[in-house]
Amino acid sequence: MTPVNPEFVPDPDASRSEMKAQQRRLSSEAIFTDKGCPSPDSVTLTETPDLDNHTSVTADDPIVVGIDQAFEDDTAVSAAAAIQNGEILEVVCGRTPLSIPYIPGLLAFREGEPIIDALAQLTVDPDLLVFDGSGRIHYRQAGIATHIGVLYDVPAIGVTKNLLCGTPAESLEEPLSEGTQVAIRADEEVDAEAGTLLGYALQTRQFPNPTVRHVNPVFVSPGHQVAPKTTIRLVGALGTGYKLPAPVRLADRAAAECKR
DNA sequence: GCGACAG
DNA sequence: ATCTTGTCGC
């Protein structure tokens, strides 16, 4: 696939103020409500054969693409794994030289190039992109999930293991029971009206076994064309039994293999 | 100046 | 993100 809005191609050589300015333009273009994103109910994690018709009833279920990166020396690799009905349709790998270091808030400018390289090789067209990175939970409401989502004008969501910014509505110190969701709202360090709902902390899995007493929640947020609540439902539909959504786990593994 | 900070 | 062995337990 090819970017629909080339003006949002992240330029690693731009100045930091230019990067931030682009993110502010991005967030105004981003849509944080349901629009074109697949229904969580239509996203199946496993194939469900239709015994009556001897065929699969999920022929045109949404195509969900997980995206993740890995690094080696001065090279960045990005893997995109396309899943439909819990079946892997395609896995592609992008590779570009590393341009800039990791800077909190500017992740898309470091990882955007390999991602674009990977998506250019994708032959199927995604109904949803799932990133290992923030969407609206971002200083300028323009995390990597929002950036790439708007760039291609495709529904996107972000999932992280750590919170970048924003304030949880409740303490996350105590172990949360599975399924618990805690709102993450805009505070002083976020360019948004204080209290704006940015995303959620979501306890996708807890007490995997008697030994592992505690698992941290993940942080989910809308990237583009998805509402906060729908983001939670989508992550829930994509993550049965694991902390992270299946597409992200597959992309993570694929990126590691891309290095070899 | 101090503290915070996705991957 | 990345550097890295074994080990405990389902």
CB A184 within 8 A of CB A164: no
Q: How far is the CA of A57 from the C1' of B7 (A)?
A: 38
Burial state string for A15-25 with b = 16 or more CB within 10 A and e = fewer than 16: eeeebbebbee
Proximity of residue A104 CB to strand C below 7 A: no
Nearest residue, CA→C1' of C2:
A71
Q: What is the CATH number of domain A6-165+220-258?
A: 3.30.2170.10
Helix (H, G, I), strand (E, B) or coil at A14: coil
- What is the rounded CA–CA span in Å between residue A150 and residue A9? 10
Proximity of residue A251 CB to strand B below 7 A: no
Proximity of residue A143 CB to strand B below 7 A: yes
Proximity of residue A70 CB to strand C below 7 A: yes
Proximity of residue A106 CB to strand B below 7 A: yes
Point out the nucleotide closest to A158 (alpha carbon to C1′): B6
The answer, yes or no, to whether residue A177 has pLDDT greater than 90, is no
In which band, very low, low, confident or very high, does the pLDDT at A16 lie, cut at 50, 70 and 90? very high
Proximity of residue A209 CB to strand C below 7 A: yes
pLDDT tens-digit map of A94-103: 999 999 999 9
Instruction: Please state the domain extents for chain A.
Output: 6-165+220-258
Q: Which helix (H) or strand (E) holds A82?
A: strand A75-84
pLDDT tens-digit map of A40-57: 999 876 655 444 443 455
pLDDT tens-digit map of A139-153: 999 999 999 999 999
One-letter amino acid for residue A199 of the chain: G
What pLDDT does A86 receive? 87
Question: What is the average pLDDT value for chain A, to the nearest integer?
Answer: 92
